[in-house]
Amino acid sequence: MDYEVASEDVMAEYVYNRSNTKLIVSSYVNGTKPSAEELGYLIACMQSTGADVLKLVLDVEKITDLAPVFTMLSHCQMPLIALAVGSRGLISQLLGPKFGGVLVYGSLSDKAVPGMPTLLSLRQVYKLEYINADTKVFGLISNPVGHSKGPILHNPAFRHTGYNGIYVPMQVDDVKEFFRTYTSSDFAGFSVGIPHKEAAVGCCDEVHPLAKSIGAVNTIVRRPTDGKLVGYNTDCDASISAIEDALTERRITQKGVLGASPLAGKTFVLIGAGGAGRALAFGAKSRGARVIIFNRDYERARALAKAVSGEALPYESLDRFRPENGMILANASAIGMEPNSDQSPVSKEALKAYELVFDAVYTPRNTRLLQEAKEVGAVVVSGVEMFIRQALGQFRLFTGGLAPEAFMRKLVLEQF
Q: What whole-number distance in Å separates Cα of residue 224 and Cα of residue 204?
A: 15
Q: What is the DSSP letter of 2?
A: B
Note the residue count of the chain: 416
111 included as an active-site residue = no
Question: Quick check: 110 and 140 in contact, CB under 8 A?
Answer: no
Per annotation, catalytic residue among 149, 197, 228, 352: 197
Q: Identify the three-state secondary structure at position 138.
A: strand
H helices within 83-149, ranges in order? 90-94, 96-99, 119-121
Q: What is the DSSP letter of 274?
A: S
Amino acid identity of 107? S
Angle at 127 between CA 121 and CA 131, to 5 degrees: 135
Question: Quick check: 67 and 95 in contact, CB under 8 A?
Answer: no
Q: What is the DSSP letter of 118?
A: B
Q: What whole-number distance in Å separates Cα of residue 211 and Cα of residue 188?
A: 19
Burial tier of 326 (Cβ tally within 10 Å: 0-12, 13-18, 19+): exposed
- Alpha carbon dihedral 233, 189, 336, 290, in 10-degree steps, equals 0
Q: What is the DSSP string of 374-407?
A: HHTT-EEE-HHHHHHHHHHHHHHHHHTS---HHH
200, 190, 170, 37: which is closest to 95 by C-alpha?
Answer: 170
CA 205, distance to chain mean position in Å, is: 21
CA 70, distance to chain mean position in Å, is: 21
Active-site positions read 197
